[in-house]
Amino acid sequence: VTDPGKAVSTGFPKGVMPVFTLTDEQFTAIGAALEHLGDAPAENETEPEREPPPMRWLALCVLWFVGGHLMLSSGRVRGALVTKLGEGAFRGLYSLVVGLGFLGTIWAYTQAPYSELWPPFVWTRYVPLVTMPLAVTLIVCGLTTRTPTQIGQDDTLSGAEATGILRVTRHPQLWGYVLFALSHLPPNGDAAALLFFGAFAALSVLGMVHIEHRRRAAHGPAWEHFIVQTSI
């Protein structure tokens, strides 16, 4: 505990384990706790009420976040709500629902326990270091480029010509999110990270398919003119 690098087995990197500075009282308390592991509980000891497991909260928030996006943006649901509420009120409702789902997902992820799915291989640390510059570039390009695949920019389909990043992909922002999410899976390697980052990757991929379908149904020839110049 005090000198974890004193004896390192051959083939394992040094300096991985953290050094803890504990008082004698703390060491004594840890030793006492270890001595009583596995002791039978007292007969009159009752099982405390358990709150819902953190992983269940994470799964529910992910379902809310991803499902809310896809459900509210579906043609049938969106059309009915826009007719009843108006475009501005619908966007406000949409932002509220997915915003709460987003914040809830982040909170639940911070509460979830670490349950290892694969060991933390050294090479996995470099995956996000290599991938994230490209992901950030795609996200920035997507946010700063007017494109008919972005919300509220359908008007750019009128004689739209694919320029800049759109010559590479018509979904640069979503591809940035996909790379961000997938690159953070290898170095984490636990169940909560798989659910958390996997949700962002799945939402981005499903979002591309969803946008393609909606734009084709809504704009027909104008959309076809645009997509022959670029690709997903």
Nearest of 180, 173, 212, 211 to residue 198 by alpha carbon: 180
- pLDDT category, 176, cuts 50, 70, 90? very high
For residues 106 and 217, the model is more confident at 106
Mean pLDDT computed over 80-99: 88
Give, for 19, the enclosing helix (H) or strand (E).
none
Is 101's pLDDT higher than 60?
A: yes
- Structure letter (DSSP) for residue 127: H
- pLDDT category, 131, cuts 50, 70, 90? very high
- pLDDT category, 147, cuts 50, 70, 90? confident
Q: Which residues lie closer than 8 Å to 190 by C-beta, 6 or more apart?
A: 114, 115, 116, 117
Mean pLDDT computed over 62-75: 88
The burial of 11, by beta-carbon neighbours within 10 Å (0-12 exposed, 13-18 middle, 19 or more buried), is given as exposed
Specify whether the CB–CB gap between 4 and 19 falls below 8 A.
Answer: yes
66 Cα distance to chain centroid: 10
- pLDDT category, 195, cuts 50, 70, 90? very high
Q: For residue 93, what are the CA distances in angstroms to 65, 86, 153, 227?
A: 14, 11, 19, 30
Q: What's the per-residue H, E or C state across 76-122?
A: HHHHHHHHHHCHHHHHHHHHHHHHHHHHHHHHHHHHCCCCECCCCCH
Distance spanning both ends of the chain, measured CA to CA: 52
pTM: predicted TM-score of the whole model, two decimal places: 0.71
- pLDDT category, 52, cuts 50, 70, 90? low
36-50, 126-140, 144-158, 210-224: which is most confident: 126-140
Instruction: Quote the pLDDT of residue 13.
Output: 85
192 Cα distance to chain centroid: 10
Instruction: Quote the pLDDT of residue 150.
Output: 82
β-bridge mates for residue 190, sequence order: 116
Instruction: Quote the pLDDT of residue 141.
Output: 92
Mean pLDDT computed over 73-91: 85
- pLDDT category, 18, cuts 50, 70, 90? confident
Kindly report which listed range (61-75, 95-109, 148-162, 180-194) carries the lowest average pLDDT score. 148-162
